[in-house]
Amino acid sequence: MRAGILLFPGINRERDMVLAVRQSFGTEPRIVWHKETDLTGLDLVIIPGGFSFGDYLRCGAMAAQSPVMRAVRDHAERGGYVLGVCNGFQILTETGLLPGALLRNAGLRFLSMDTMLKVERNDTVFTAKYGKGEVFRAPMAHGDGNYTADEATLDRLEGEGLVAFRYHDENRNGSARAIAGVYSPNLRVLGLMPHPEDLVDPLMGGTDGKPLFDSLAAA
């Protein structure tokens, strides 16, 4: 699988993502500048975390209007894989590739700590190396991770099995139904708030996030 990592001004977790991809894929991901429009040759587009355009409007709203996001939409329509983490998840909801929105955390403070995530299904390209129902640890670091959608959408997400991960220990940011990540209907676009890419090396405290990248590498 050939991966590309999008770079918007203000993105700051691209280096973490490069390390995780490099380790699992054994290849170097392509860095894609936000003004590029050609994603030819990429199987997987990753939008990493950070503060694209400072998040001075709504988180991810400016990036969603970038030239590269038109190409990402085309890529997704062609059935390409997309992974958005943290700000990347926010950009995907702003772009409309994933439903819902991320609001300010319920406590109105930035939250940086490990959280436990429950794998809702393991028959997707992102989670094949996890067990169904497995609980794994991932660092989170965000001010706007409070997932919200209208009740009908939430019911539909649950009914169609499009909830990817839920907060298992504590729903600190107040997300609706403790949702930490969601899939697109074809299960090829995934957005999540926590950072599995920051837990892929025993030296950094564990490898709980590595199966996600191993899953993609094996797909």
Partner 1 sequence: MKPVDEKLAKSFGLNAGEYAKVLEIMGRVPSFTELGIFSVMWSEHCSYKSSRVWLKELPTKAPWVIHGPGENAGVIDIGEGMAAIFKMESHNHPSFIEPYQGAATGVGGILRDVFTMGARPVANLNALRFGDPKLPVTKRVVDGVVRGIGGYGNCVGVPTVGGEVNFHPAYNGNPLVNAMTVGIAAQDKIFLSAAAGIGNPVVYVGSKTGRDGIHGATMASTEFDASSEEKRPTVQVGDPFTEKLLIEACLELMQTDAIVAIQDMGAAGLTSSSVEMAGKGGVGIELNLDDVPQRETAMSAYEMMLSESQERMLLVLKPERSEMARQIIEKWDLDYAVIGHITDTGRIVVTHKGVVEADIPLAPLSDAAPLYHRPYIEAPKPEPLGPVSSDMSLEAALLKLIACPDLCSRRWIFDQYDSTVGGQTVKRPAESDAAIVRLEGTNRALAITTDCTPRYCVADPEQGGAQAVAEAWRNITATGAKPLAVTDNMNFGNPEKPEIMGQFAGAIKGMAAACIALDFPVVSGNVSLYNETEGKGILPTPAIGAVGVLEDAALARGIAIAPGQDLVLIGATYGELGRSLYLREICGLETGAPPVVDLAAERANGDFVREQILQGNIAACHDLSDGGLLVAVTEMALAGNTGADLTQADTSPAFCFGEDQARYILAAEDAEPLLTAAFAAGIPAQKIGHTTIDECLTLPGGLAISLTVLREANEGFFPAWFA
Give the residue numbers annotated as catalytic, written as ranges. 86, 195, 197
Question: Does 70 interact with partner 1 (rule: CB under 8 A)?
Answer: no
Rank residues 12 and 186 by Cβ distance to partner 1 and give the closer one: 12
Question: Does 112 interact with partner 1 (rule: CB under 8 A)?
Answer: yes
Cα–Cα distance, 82 to 74 (Å, whole number): 11
Question: Does 109 interact with partner 1 (rule: CB under 8 A)?
Answer: yes
What's the Cα-to-Cα distance from 20 to each of 32, 39, 132, rounded to whole Å? 17, 21, 22
Q: How far is the CB of 178 from partner 1 (least distance, A)?
A: 19
Q: How far is the CB of 72 from partner 1 (least distance, A)?
A: 21
Question: Does 198 interact with partner 1 (rule: CB under 8 A)?
Answer: yes
Cα–Cα distance, 71 to 183 (Å, whole number): 19
Long-range contact set of residues 117-123: C-beta below 8 Å, sequence gap at least 24: 117/165, 117/166, 117/167, 117/168, 117/180, 117/181, 117/192, 117/194, 118/165, 118/166, 118/167, 118/168, 119/164, 119/165, 120/161, 120/163, 120/164, 120/165, 120/166, 121/161, 121/164
DSSP 3-state of 218: helix
- Residue from the set 94, 120, 144, 197 that interacts with partner 1 by CB under 8 A: 197
Cα–Cα distance, 94 to 59 (Å, whole number): 8
Site string for partner 1, 164-193 (x = CB under 8 A): ------------------------------
Neighbours of 38 (CB within 10 A): 9
Rank residues 20 and 47 by Cβ distance to partner 1 and give the closer one: 20
Rank residues 62 and 97 by Cβ distance to partner 1 and give the closer one: 62
Question: Does 10 interact with partner 1 (rule: CB under 8 A)?
Answer: yes
CA dihedral (131, 82, 92, 141) positive or negative: positive
Question: Does 9 interact with partner 1 (rule: CB under 8 A)?
Answer: yes
Only one of the segments 47-55, 73-81, 153-161, 181-189 lies at the binding site for partner 1 (rule: CB under 8 A); that segment is 47-55
Q: How far is the CB of 141 from partner 1 (least distance, A)?
A: 4
Residues forming the site for partner 1 (CB under 8 A): 9-10, 12-13, 15-16, 19-20, 49-51, 53-56, 109-113, 139, 141, 143, 195, 197-198, 200-201, 203-205
